């Protein structure tokens, strides 16, 4: 059922539980639809006027339908008590302690995600809307002692793998919704409130790329195929005489596609260049469709190195 539903890759610790529930609910839906559907189809054929010229005043006398209705109610009660309530409680009540997690602030604005790391001191510095400018989207007060080592990025969220992360969400202007489809996370960002969420990424971006790689067939008509053009090659490709066309990691350009086709290559291993992303899920204005950020999940060492590199620019 999971494959049938076409749910995206799942790269968080809690994700499989949500997916499992989605699968269970869809089985129930399918069961009910097929059940009603077969009854419906049968009656339409069996009780058409041509076959049954005289209708029966009473019709069905049994109470089977009541038992079915009670059955559905019970199943829904099980879904509620067995899955929905405990899973939700885990999402909103069982936050890890700040000390055991990476804590990040994300401040949404039309149309970008500002990501704020507290730096080595672990304390977020003071911010002030009067200080907000193009160069300082968070309005960070660098005079404040806690703010001196703070790091911020725009549309780029780096996190270490297998460590819980707490994200404190807020918005500068309108309502946005912070969606991470691959991590089964979505949370509205409401101006005037700070809303926390937490999850644990279980795959690094490298692993996600590995798992998302597909074999795609190509033809000369694909030079304007936007899906293909957004991809990067996941293997090296060369002509029969050995001239390199694409190296692993290179973008699929229209020229490269033409060369590949000319070289008689009919399919390529490729993947979307940035599979892990932040998607705005709530209409936030004219740029809502392009309010996209990127998520990079790194190993603990890579993440520390990245933080150090960012700190060196301060």
Partner 1 sequence: MAHVATAGHAVHDAAHHEEELTFIRKYVFSQDHKVIGIQYLITSLLFLFFGFSLMMLMRWQLAYPGQPIPFIGGLLGEANAPGGIMLPEFYNQLGAMHGTIMVFLGIVPLAVGAFGNYVVPLQIGAPDMAFPKLNMMSYWVYFVGGVTMLASFFLPGGAANSGWTSYAPLSVVATTGQTAWLFAMVFLITSSLLGSVNFIVTMVQLRAKGLTFTRLPFFVWAQLVTAFLLLLAFPPLEAAGVMQLMDRLAGTSFFLPSGLVVAGQALDVSGGGSPILWQHLFWFLAHPEVYVLILPAMGIVGEVIANNTRKPLWGYKSLVYASIFLGFMSFIVWAHHMFLTGMGTVISTFFQTTTMIISIPSVIILTAFFISLWGASIRFNTQMLFALAFLPMFGIGGLTGLPLGLAPTDTHLHDTYYVIGHFHYVVAPGTIFALFAGVYHWYPKVTGRRMSDTLGKVHFWGSLVCMNGIFMPMFIQGLAGVSRRLYDGGQQYAHAQGVLQWNEFMSVAAWSLAVFQLPFMINFFLSIWKGRKVENDNPWEATTLDWATPTPPPHGNFARVPEVYRGPYEYSVPGHPTDFFPQNEPEPAKG
CB of 241 to partner 1, least distance (A): 33
Number of Cβ within 10 Å of residue 258's Cβ equals 15
CB of 179 to partner 1, least distance (A): 7
Cβ proximity to partner 1: between 5 and 244 the closer is 5
Cβ proximity to partner 1: between 40 and 254 the closer is 40
258: left (phi over 0), alpha (psi -120 to 50) or beta: alpha
Cβ proximity to partner 1: between 208 and 307 the closer is 208
CB of 188 to partner 1, least distance (A): 5
3-state secondary structure 150-166: CEEEECEEEEECCCCEE
Cβ proximity to partner 1: between 37 and 145 the closer is 37
What DSSP assignment string belongs to 140-203?
B-TTSGGGTT-EEEESEEEEETTS-EEEEEEESSS-EEEEEGGGTEEEEE-TT--EEEEE-B-S
Cβ proximity to partner 1: between 64 and 97 the closer is 64
Cβ proximity to partner 1: between 119 and 275 the closer is 275
Integer Cα distance of 142 and 145 in angstroms: 7
CB of 264 to partner 1, least distance (A): 26
Integer Cα distance of 235 and 269 in angstroms: 6
CB of 242 to partner 1, least distance (A): 32
Cβ proximity to partner 1: between 128 and 143 the closer is 128
CB of 125 to partner 1, least distance (A): 17
CB of 239 to partner 1, least distance (A): 28
Integer Cα distance of 85 and 80 in angstroms: 6
Integer Cα distance of 215 and 123 in angstroms: 46
Q: Distance from CA of residue 22 to its chain's centroid?
A: 15
Q: Which residues pair with 140 in a beta bridge?
A: 127
Establish how many alpha carbons lie within 13 A of residue 94's alpha carbon, considering only the half-sphere containing its beta carbon. 11
């Amino acid at each position: 059922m999971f494959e049938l539903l076409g749910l995206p890759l799942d790269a968080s610790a809690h994700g499989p539980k949500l997916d499992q529930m989605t699968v269970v609910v869809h089985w129930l839906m399918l069961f009910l639809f097929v059940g009603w559907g077969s009854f419906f189809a049968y009656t339409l054929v069996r009780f058409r006027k041509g076959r049954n010229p005289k209708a029966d005043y009473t019709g069905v006398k049994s109470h089977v339908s009541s038992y079915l209705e009670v059955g559905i109610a019970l199943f829904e009660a099980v879904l509620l008590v067995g899955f929905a309530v405990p899973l939700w409680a885990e999402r909103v009540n069982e936050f890890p302690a700040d000390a055991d997690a990476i804590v990040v602030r994300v401040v949404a604005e039309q149309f970008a995600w500002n990501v704020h790391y507290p730096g080595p001191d672990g304390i977020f510095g003071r911010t002030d809307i009067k200080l907000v400018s193009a160069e300082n989207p968070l309005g960070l007060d660098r005079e404040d002692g806690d703010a001196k080592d703070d790091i911020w990025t725009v549309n780029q969220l780096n996190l270490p793998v297998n460590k819980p992360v707490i994200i404190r969400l807020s918005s500068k202007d309108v309502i946005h919704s912070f969606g991470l489809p691959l991590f089964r996370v979505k949370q509205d960002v409401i101006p005037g409130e700070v809303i926390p969420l937490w999850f644990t990424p279980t795959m690094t971006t490298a692993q996600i790329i590995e798992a998302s790689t597909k074999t795609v067939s190509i033809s000369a008509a694909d030079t304007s195929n936007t899906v293909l053009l957004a991809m990067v090659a996941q293997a090296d490709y060369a002509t029969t005489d050995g001239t390199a066309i694409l190296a692993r990691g290179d973008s699929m350009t229209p020229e490269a596609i033409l060369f590949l086709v000319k070289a008689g290559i009919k399919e390529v291993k490729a993947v979307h260049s940035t599979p892990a992303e932040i998607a705005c899920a709530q209409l936030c204005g004219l740029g809502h469709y392009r309010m996209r950020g990127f998520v990079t999940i790194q190993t603990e060492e890579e993440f520390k190195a990245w933080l150090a590199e960012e700190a060196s620019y301060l």
